[in-house]
Amino acid sequence: MTGVSEGLLGASLGGRYRLERWLGGDDTAAFFLTSFSDRRAVLKLIPEDRSTAEQQLALWRRTAALSHPHLLPLLDFGRGDAAKRHFLYAVFEFPDDSLSSALRQGPLSETEAREAWNAVVEALRYIHSHGLVHGSLDPDHIVAVGDSIKLASDTLRDPSPSHSAADDFRALGSAGLLAAPPPAPPERPGARRLRFPKWTYAVLPVFLAAAVFMLRRSSHPSSQPAPPPVRPASTTRAAAPSIAPPETARVEPRGRIFWRVIAYTYATRRGAETKAERLNRKSPAFHAEVFTPKGKGRPPFMVALGGRMTRAEAVRVQKEARAKGLPRDTFVRNYAE
């Protein structure tokens, strides 16, 4: 752990957020797993400096006001005390995967690569249109939440002589999203909205395939999140759950309505199958399987627990799965099959 993190693990920040697990950090900031509205979240913690505190809080206030499908949202921020020390904190949505961890597992298909490329560029355009720059575009800050590719937002700041909107696009090349950094788009004095760079339309998908990450979830934190600001370390699951597939679950012809317990959702079958295999190795009692509500071969690809069942059975399995450490957002839903 870093000096910022020492003595904080398990502490409560101002009575609001419990610092459940250290995810990473450096000498200036630390990241912890916490909960926000009963969902996992990443909490960024920095020592309070009276000379810069108001400036930092004002920047987080602007960041929290942003809303874009490809930008990791800032959920809460403020001041708090822990272990008799004063901190500023920011709470972000918890990511399921990162470019850096996914690149170790292989490239995307051409179609997936195009989708990921567009998501990153659209997020940058949105940030720039609000007078901010990303400032730290690298594989750890490009993440996935469910089916969505997002940019972490903990590093957003005002443009400066040392980093402009054009520098974000240069970083896009050096972050591994292109074979070589493309020429930076020209900046127009006084203009806050950045034109969509022409080179983004011309880059061949093959260049992206080597770098754009896969929309799949790895095990919690480490292989997983590489959170926004951070890359959580892998989570150790509890022992195999005691639940067994509902003995009364009915398997009937397609066209009937059945309930399922969905623990994970992926944009690719490969990602879902990998997760189901890992889950079954660690917790065979879950009987995880890949379920495709839109038909075989069509996303989303879901990791379902226990097969088809009644609603009462599904709710029971959902509660037991959460109690055994599966995501708090594991949900129950009925599907026509």
pLDDT averaged per 10 residues, the chain (length 337): 76 91 87 93 94 95 96 96 93 89 69 77 95 91 89 95 92 56 42 33 36 39 41 34 35 59 84 86 88 80 88 87 82 80
Per-residue pLDDT tens for 71-112?
999 999 999 999 889 999 999 999 998 877 776 777 656 776
pLDDT of residue 174: 63
Q: Which 8-state DSSP code applies to residue 254? A: B
74, 93, 112 - which closes a domain: 93
104 and 89 within one domain: no
pLDDT of residue 109: 65
101 and 85 within one domain: no
Q: Can you read off the two tokens belonging to residue 73?
A: 């949202």
Domain count, the chain: 3
Per-residue pLDDT tens for 193-245?
333 333 333 333 333 433 444 433 433 343 344 444 433 333 333 333 333 33
The bridge status of strand 148-151 relative to strand 288-291 is unpaired
Query: What backbone phi and psi angles, to 5 degrees, belong to 77?
Result: -160, 165
62, 93, 124 - which closes a domain: 93
Question: Within a domain: residue 238?
Answer: no
Say how many C-beta atoms besides its own lie within 10 A of residue 198's C-beta: 10
pLDDT of residue 77: 96
Question: Within a domain: residue 323?
Answer: yes
306 vs 195, 240, 279, 286, CA distance in Å?
49, 14, 12, 6
Contacts of 296 (CB under 8 A, 6+ apart): none
pLDDT of residue 240: 31
103 and 88 within one domain: no
Whole-number Å distance between alpha carbons of 71 and 155: 12
103 and 177 within one domain: yes
Torsion of CA 82, 83, 87, 91, to 10 degrees: -40
274 and 181 within one domain: no
102 and 88 within one domain: no
262 and 185 within one domain: no
Q: Which 8-state DSSP code applies to residue 177? A: I
Torsion of CA 128, 167, 116, 75, to 10 degrees: -50
Nearest CA-CA partner of 34 in 26, 23, 25: 23
**Under 8 Å between Cβ of 317 and 305:** yes
3-state helix, strand, coil in the chain (%, to 5): 25, 25, 45
Burial state string for 81-103 with b = 16 or more CB within 10 A and e = fewer than 16: ebeeeebbbbbbbbbbbbbbbbb
Q: What string of DSSP letters covers 85-118?
A: EEEEEEEEEPPSEEHHHHTTT-PPPHHHHHHHHH
Question: Within a domain: residue 6?
Answer: no
pLDDT of residue 112: 65
Whole-number Å distance between alpha carbons of 242 and 324: 9
168 and 134 within one domain: yes
123 and 78 within one domain: no
184 and 104 within one domain: yes
Contacts of 147 (CB under 8 A, 6+ apart): 215, 265, 266, 267, 299, 300
Range of the domain at 179: 97-209
Question: Within a domain: residue 329?
Answer: yes
**Under 8 Å between Cβ of 22 and 227:** no
329 and 304 within one domain: yes
| Paired strand residues for 79 | 88
Whichever domain contains 171, its CATH number is 1.10.510.10
